[in-house]
């Protein structure tokens, strides 16, 4: 208990005096994981919708790969990205190894299967006739997808939280492709690993407390939005409200 108490005081001291560039490290952590989560959201929602609405040969294999990717070891992903971005690798000419770009790519690969799995499961649970109703009102595919995503916005927010958590808490892949370079690619997880390796358990715990506080703050924001959205409209009125909105959406052959 004494060590934890000392770590909490050390965390306050680090934040008060910005020792070890803690603010820079924290902001870099949010930037890298935030961009990775945004990219994962675009890729994951697109892939999840495709898997939920399409029936094609090999669909079960694709879903199996997605579910496997949700638990894939981060060090394996880090190794794969490092090989691809290495100077002698296929993408070595980009010069992205040991940069924040490489860390964003690694974290995107980690978070995308999580969001894809959540999206596919939530969209797949909707009644099939709902899509037919939306199409019957003259909606295009993009408009249909927008209405469906609003129907599953609560699970989608949970997917975003899970994806962000997987990205910001990851350490192995980020260190492998980023190098944990001070002032350039060091994030909170890498700083914790470094301080623990040096035997500075107080500083490592302090950085860990800061990381946990950041995760709690971000997830509290998403949870507040989730609860506010849930209470905004009565559950039984959701579908009718979404269907009524379709007639107000712009239509045209270029959207179909």
- Parse the chain into domains and list their residue ranges: 2-250
State both tokens at 78: 């880090």
pTM, full prediction: 0.81
**Span 213-228, average pLDDT:** 83
Burial of 127 (0-12, 13-18, 19+ CB in 10 A): exposed
Q: What is the pLDDT of residue 253?
A: 44
Q: How does residue 254 score in pLDDT terms, banded at 50, 70 and 90?
A: very low
CA proximity to 34, closest of 97, 108, 88, 95: 108
DSSP 8-state secondary structure symbol assigned to residue 236 = G
Angstrom CA distances, 158 to 31, 102, 168, 225, stand at 20, 26, 15, 11
**Span 196-202, average pLDDT:** 79
How many other CB atoms sit within 10 Å of the CB of residue 73?
Answer: 11
The CATH architecture of the domain made up of 2-250 is Orthogonal Bundle (1.10)
Q: What angle do CA 32, 36, 37 make, to 5 degrees?
A: 120
Crossing angle of helices 74-85 and 100-124, rounded to 10°: 130
pLDDT: which is higher, 245 or 79:
79
């Amino acid at each position: 208990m004494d060590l934890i108490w000392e770590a909490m005081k050390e965390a306050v001291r680090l934040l008060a005096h910005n020792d070890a560039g803690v603010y820079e490290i924290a902001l870099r952590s949010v930037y890298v994981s935030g961009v990775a989560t945004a990219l994962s959201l675009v890729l994951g929602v697109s892939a999840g919708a495709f898997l939920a609405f399409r029936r094609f040969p090999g669909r079960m294999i694709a879903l199996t790969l997605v579910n496997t990717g949700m638990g894939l070891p981060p060090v394996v992903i880090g190794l794969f990205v490092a090989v691809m971005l290495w100077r002698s690798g296929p993408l070595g000419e980009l010069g992205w190894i040991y940069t924040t770009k490489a860390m964003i790519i690694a974290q995107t690969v980690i978070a995308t299967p999580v969001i894809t799995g959540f999206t596919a499961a939530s969209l797949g649970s909707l009644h099939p006739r709902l899509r037919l109703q939306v199409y019957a009102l003259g909606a295009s595919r993009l408009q249909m997808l927008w209405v469906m995503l609003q129907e599953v916005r609560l699970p989608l927010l949970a997917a975003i939280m899970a994806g962000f958590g997987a990205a910001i808490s990851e350490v192995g892949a980020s260190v492998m492709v980023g190098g944990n370079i001070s002032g350039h690619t060091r994030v909170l997880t890498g700083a914790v690993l470094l301080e623990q390796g040096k035997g500075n358990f107080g500083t490592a715990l302090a950085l860990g407390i800061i990381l946990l506080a950041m995760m709690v703050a971000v997830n509290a924001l998403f949870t507040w939005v989730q609860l506010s959205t849930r209470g905004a409209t009565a559950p039984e009125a959701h579908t009718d409200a979404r269907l009524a909105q379709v007639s107000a959406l712009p239509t045209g052959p270029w959207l179909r």
